[in-house]
């Protein structure tokens, strides 16, 4: 008897090697495709799609036999893409229940979800199954779902049934499994041969055998197989602990050198990442693209906008601008996208705060500026813990919060223009104070001089500094006034204008 309160949904995707390869190649799904594995010239078919099955392709065909088919696309098996797709499928299943057991085997993906107690949150089992299949189809995989109160009943039925969605009512496990072939139980070769000699080909025929006589002939394994056929065998659920890793990988059929062809592939991968992160009510905070190049080289770039977003055209444009500014050095053979999730919360500003620019325009503008001046010259300035002039560093630009935006006030009434690099001047001192100076071929008489302010530091480094600063108000012969800041380098005994005051 089944234990009270149990309910399982089994998700099954057959021909998984072919589906994993075609998931990020939607343009090939309407064409006959086969996947081969092995060392050339001994490759053989390990998986294929429905279009290829209609042409007569069977598992185990050699490359020579495939050459007899016209309009057949042959792709190599990709183990990394299968691992990535399997992780995506388990992540999708975990969105419906935290208890998911992975039962994948051979060329099929198989997982069982414990959905007991989810009716109030996700609706009846049939509604849950339809939503599960819809999300799986968005991921680019086709599958089927069977729901039962018995773990192994759902597992066996989904393997042998052609129905995309099946719900096995409590008490009907045996009758639902009866017409299915014996192969859905993974019977060993020796026992399969024994059952064939007895004329046992379906689960109904196996379930009808007397238990004691079956045990006396093939042992306790016979009792276990009979319980499986009757839908009575219990199972100790072993949940799969999945790690949330937003990663998509695709191995290219041929090396790619043009950026436009690469962006076509990246666009499909971004679509999958955005769908996966949206189901968790999150957004993409950063995307890292890793390009595997010919010669075992790797080219890695990271793009991080000012705000987390799920705007796919924005991400595609940012990646395009970054790769144009930092192109790879060789042809690309594989692409990996890794994303970091972030909060989708909106930034709420104060009533009198200045309006922020549109995030998409802002990020694209910053990316274009980085392409012109370099990554190290774009960002928000932050003062360092030093008195040295120009003692600041650049951090990635971030949109200010409502609190920091509303509290920002203007602390100075004068505008200050920093000269970079500082301009050298010729100066005359009188009583150790500036009397007049020549700046940009114009002579200025000093009317007011404020200073000096002495500053020195970094005595522990080789490049120590010692400066003397003066704020001057000078007037030229044509009555033009100049307010500036002069700095005297005490080590080199040189004078420079570093700042002009407006």
Reported as a single tens digit per residue, the pLDDT across 70-101 is 889 999 999 999 999 999 999 999 999 989 99
Give pairs for 180-183: CB < 8 Å, separation 24+: 180/156, 182/206
Backbone angles phi, psi at 73, to 5 degrees: -95, 125
Taking all residues of the chain, what is their mean pLDDT, rounded to a whole number? 86
The β-bridge partners of 380 are: 395
> Residue 29 pLDDT > 90, yes or no?
no
Confidence band of 44 (pLDDT split at 50, 70, 90): very high
What pLDDT, on the 0 to 100 scale, is given for residue 441? 85
pLDDT at 165 over 70: yes
Instruction: Report the SS3 class of residue 484.
Output: strand
Average pLDDT over residues 477-481: 83
Are 367 and 321 contacting, i.e. CB atoms less than 8 angstroms apart?
yes
d(CA 142, CA 133): 8
Residue % of the chain over a pLDDT of 90: 49
Indicate the pLDDT class of residue 4, thresholds 50, 70 and 90.
low
For residues 61 and 40, what is the distance between their CA atoms, to the nearest angstrom? Answer: 13
Q: pTM to 2 decimals?
A: 0.70
465 by DSSP, 3-state: which? strand
Q: Which CATH number is correct for 246-409, 3.30.470.30, 3.40.50.300, 3.40.50.2300, 3.30.1490.100?
A: 3.30.1490.100
All CATH 3.30.1490.100 domain ranges of the chain, comma separated, are 246-409
Rounded average pLDDT over 305-311: 85
Confidence at residue 466, expressed as pLDDT on a 0 to 100 scale: 82
356 pLDDT more than 90: no
426: β partners: 438
Residue 421 pLDDT greater than 80, yes or no: yes
> Please, are residues 327 and 381 in contact by the beta-carbon 8 Å criterion?
no
| pLDDT at residue 69 is higher than 80 | yes
pLDDT number for residue 463: 67
Delimiting residues of CATH 3.30.70.270 domain(s) in the chain: 8-230
Confidence at 133, pLDDT banded by 50, 70, 90: very high
Predicted confidence at residue 20, as pLDDT, reads 93
pLDDT at residue 72, rounded to an integer:
92
**CATH domain 8-230 topology:** Alpha-Beta Plaits (3.30.70)
Whole-number Cα distances in Å, 336 to 13, 28, 289, 301: 24, 20, 6, 11
The confidence score (pLDDT) of residue 359 equals: 63
In whole angstroms, give the CA distance from residue 321 to residue 499: 35
| pLDDT at residue number 155 | 93
- pLDDT 10s digits, 371-414: 777 777 777 788 777 666 667 777 777 665 544 444 444 444 56
């Amino acid at each position: 008897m089944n234990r009270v309160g149990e309910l399982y949904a089994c998700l099954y995707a057959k021909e998984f090697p072919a589906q994993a390869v075609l998931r990020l190649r939607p343009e090939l799904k309407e064409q006959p495709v086969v996947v081969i594995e092995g060392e050339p010239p001994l490759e053989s078919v390990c998986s294929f799609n429905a279009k290829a099955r209609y042409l007569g392709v069977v598992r185990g065909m050699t490359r020579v036999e495939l050459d007899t088919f016209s309009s057949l696309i042959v792709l190599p098996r990709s183990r990394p893409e299968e691992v990535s797709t399997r992780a995506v499928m388990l992540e999708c299943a975990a969105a419906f229940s935290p208890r998911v057991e992975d039962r994948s085997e051979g060329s099929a993906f198989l997982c069982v979800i414990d959905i007991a107690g989810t009716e109030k949150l996700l609706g009846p089992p049939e509604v849950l199954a339809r939503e599960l299949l819809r999300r799986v189809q968005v991921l680019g995989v086709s599958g089927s779902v069977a729901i039962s109160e018995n773990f192994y009943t759902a597992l066996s039925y989904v393997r042998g049934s052609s129905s995309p969605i099946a719900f096995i009512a409590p008490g009907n496990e045996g009758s639902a499994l009866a017409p299915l072939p014996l192969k859905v139980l993974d019977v060993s070769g020796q026992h399969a041969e024994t059952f064939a000699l007895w004329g046992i080909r379906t689960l109904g025929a196996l379930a009808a055998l007397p238990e004691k006589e079956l045990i006396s002939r093939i042992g306790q394994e016979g009792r276990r197989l009979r319980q499986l056929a009757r839908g009575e065998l219990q199972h100790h659920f072993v949940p799969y602990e999945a790690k949330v890793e937003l990663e998509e990988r695709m191995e290219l059929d041929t090396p790619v050198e043009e950026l436009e062809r690469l962006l076509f592939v990246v666009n499909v991968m971004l679509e999958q990442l955005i769908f996966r992160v949206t189901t968790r009510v999150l957004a993409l905070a950063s995307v890292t693209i890793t390009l595997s190049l010919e010669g075992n080289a790797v080219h890695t770039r990271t793009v991080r906008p000012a705000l987390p977003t799920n705007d796919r055209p924005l991400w595609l444009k940012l990646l395009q601008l970054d790769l144009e500014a930092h192109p790879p050095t060789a042809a690309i053979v594989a692409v990996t996208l890794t994303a970091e999730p972030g909060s989708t919360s909106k930034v709420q500003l104060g009533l009198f705060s200045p309006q922020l620019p549109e995030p998409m325009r802002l990020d694209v503008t910053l990316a274009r500026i980085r392409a012109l001046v370099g990554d190290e010259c774009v960002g928000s300035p932050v003062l360092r813990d030093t008195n040295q002039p120009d003692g600041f560093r650049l951090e990635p630009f971030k949109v200010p919060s409502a609190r920091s935006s509303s509290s920002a006030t203007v602390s100075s009434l004068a505008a200050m223009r920093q000269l970079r690099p500082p301009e050298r001047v010729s100066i005359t001192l009188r009583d150790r104070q500036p009397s007049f100076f020549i700046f940009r071929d114009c002579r200025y008489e000093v009317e007011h001089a404020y200073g000096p302010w002495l500053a020195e530091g970094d005595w522990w480094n080789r490049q120590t500094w010692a400066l003397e600063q003066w704020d001057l108000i000078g007037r030229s012969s044509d009555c033009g006034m100049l307010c500036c800041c002069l700095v005297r380098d005490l080590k080199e005994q040189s004078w420079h204008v570093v700042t002009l005051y407006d």
